[in-house]
Structure 1
Amino acid sequence: MSALVTGGTRGIGHAIVEEFARFGAAVYTCSRNKKELDECLEDWKHKGFRVAGSVCDLSIRTQRDKLMEAVSIYFDGKINILVNNAGTSRLKQATDYTAEDFSLIMGTNFEASYHLCQLAHPFLKAAGSGSIVFISSVGGLMSVPSASLYAASKGAMNQVTKNLACEWAKDNIRVNAVAPWIIETSLI
């Protein structure tokens, strides 16, 4: 099995990378932080895991294109699993959010995940059986104080999960979302 896990150097993403690797999957991950990525890759190498990765700021479209190009080469044009995990948040009152906040949160949490699905679709289809997992949030299902933009990005993610699940079932690609509650790791 082959898997792309975004934001795999800490938190839920790190745990997903390690779990896939323990099961024998080849994993590719990305992070905005080169030092953090290099440290994780070295640790995974010592554990005997097959994990590769590259630096990528998912809020930048051209970097997503380059990421998927690298992943396609690494996995020879076939991907079994895409985990859209990377995310960010800024906690503020709704009236205090700026256009920059909107672009960062929606761009990282929703736009990047949607675009990666588009880019990964041919590689998931080529594998014969694909799976996409969105790491959403309870915040996308209920009100969370001072997190209206984060909640909106996760709510959009929940809806697109339903749409892609129906649209891509014919291509043998499953699409699901997991909505955890607060975890004790950083989103920034």
Structure 2
Amino acid sequence: MRLTSAALITALVLAAVPVHAASLGGMGQAIFGNGFNFDKANLQQAPVGAIDAGKLKVQLQRTKLKDVQKAFGGTIQTDGDGAGRADWLCYGSESANVWFISNALGGYEFVMMVAAEAGKPSKSCDAAPADFTLPNLGIPGLGASTADLKATFGAASGNKIAYRNDRPGGYADIAQYIGYVLKGGKVAGVGVGETSVPTQH
């Protein structure tokens, strides 16, 4: 069963309540909060499957924050409450910061969003271990051009670009959403997330 507009909006609001924690910043806050307009589905298929994070394969809604922590270390951080609560791990490398985020729909346990942003290591992130590699989402990533996004998704314009796909699941319908921030025509930040809504039987 397809998500009704009301159900999808409710799910996206729950998954995208702004967070005011100083430590969940950059693309982490943008993909968790309301930094993008995901109102309309504009993709025929969900482009992101398993996320290759070096020695760990991350699946949205299935991989636990503790699995990420076991692979790369770091401290699980928490801020907010209710629908506005976020739990996350953040790793800063010499070239980018990466967030693995859970929310209420993930039980504050399962990874619901992954985001990366080019730049120097954030003081609010743990230092990335030596064997850490930037997650490969299977779509254009940091440094990609607007032309790369157009070739992959069929359209891309502006400095803040949002994509969404809706698909039926087994016991829940799933919306996958992707946000890009571009600077000088190049991807400076990318984030992906999923949200599930139980189907009505």
TM-score (norm 2): 0.29
Greater share of residues in helix: 1
| Structure holding more strand per residue | 2
